[in-house]
Copies of this chain bind each other. A is one copy, B any other.
């Protein structure tokens, strides 16, 4: 008898096959209504294979009387009501570490692409403007710049390690000073933004970081500043950001995350000083396979009564 689990959103084939080999997999109703699942199925479910960025609230968890684990696919679990899970002794796991390098790589790739105008330069060649109009407009150098990293967890640190090799000056904001190379600690975001030519958001999502990239932080970054966000759209005051980009209060932004993905604010599409990415910072074949494997290891650990590999609560 394979244990029963509930699967949210669609997994890649390699994950679906593996989940179905290990478990009896039920799908969250396409209607989005948990009530559409029969009660006898709900009673059998002992774990969720969770994926995606929709909200996983108390009312969904409470529809499953025998739920023991929410195994999240991804490192961020800001959409999961962990406090409620804990109150019911439901464990939550995530998939840290395996995606750190990919997220940091994309952050740096977005930064370089924005700062050196790589997308515009590509259009310059393919449209024939190089041949007809001459040299591409000059961009700005990176070396010697001050880079501010908001949030120095695993991903923020990996970004810092990469950018230090570009001969930049690393500043960071965190709740407390960390053990780092010669990076400069800031205890508030305004100070960080003032000292930064480029500000990279790498904090966790959730209520503590809601709109921490405020109009004040954006103003402190200044008219030469670039903003990079690979964290969560919720960290950003998007109205303030869009206004700052429209009025050239900052030089540009490269964004992998947004509020209301994938139906993002259409004003972003009208801007010529942004690089927009479809939340794919962990989107490589190798990393997604590792994320799926780690999620399953947590599920297997639950059913084998061995310690969870990457517990959150």
A residues sitting closer than 8 Å to B (CB atoms) are 12, 101-102, 105-106, 108-110, 112-113, 115-116, 118-119, 121-122, 124-126, 130-131, 134-136, 138-144, 161-162, 164-167, 261-264, 268-269, 275-278, 280, 283-288
Contact = CB atoms under 8 A, between A and B. Distances in A.
A138 B288 contact: yes
A287 B141 CA distance: 7
A130 B277 CA distance: 9
Contacts of A141: 101-102, 105, 284-287
A84 B164 CA distance: 43
Given A165-B165, A278-B135, A125 B264 contact: yes
B101 A109 contact: no
A262 B131 CA distance: 5
Given A118-B275, A165-B161, A139 B284 contact: yes
Task: Give the oligomeric copy count.
Answer: 2
Given A112-B112, A141-B286, A284-B140, A278 B125 contact: yes
Contacts of A262: 130-131, 134
Contacts of A144: 286
Nearest to A163: B165
Contact of A110 (B118, B269, B280): B118
Contacts of A269: 125-126
Given A108-B112, A166-B105, A166-B162, A280 B119 contact: no
Nearest to A162: B165
B113 A109 contact: yes
A140 B280 CA distance: 11
A122 B275 CA distance: 7
Given A135-B280, A141-B286, 16 more contacts: A101-B142, A102-B143, A105-B112, A105-B142, A108-B112, A112-B112, A116-B280, A118-B118, A118-B119, A124-B278, A130-B264, A136-B280, A138-B280, A138-B285, A139-B284, A140-B286
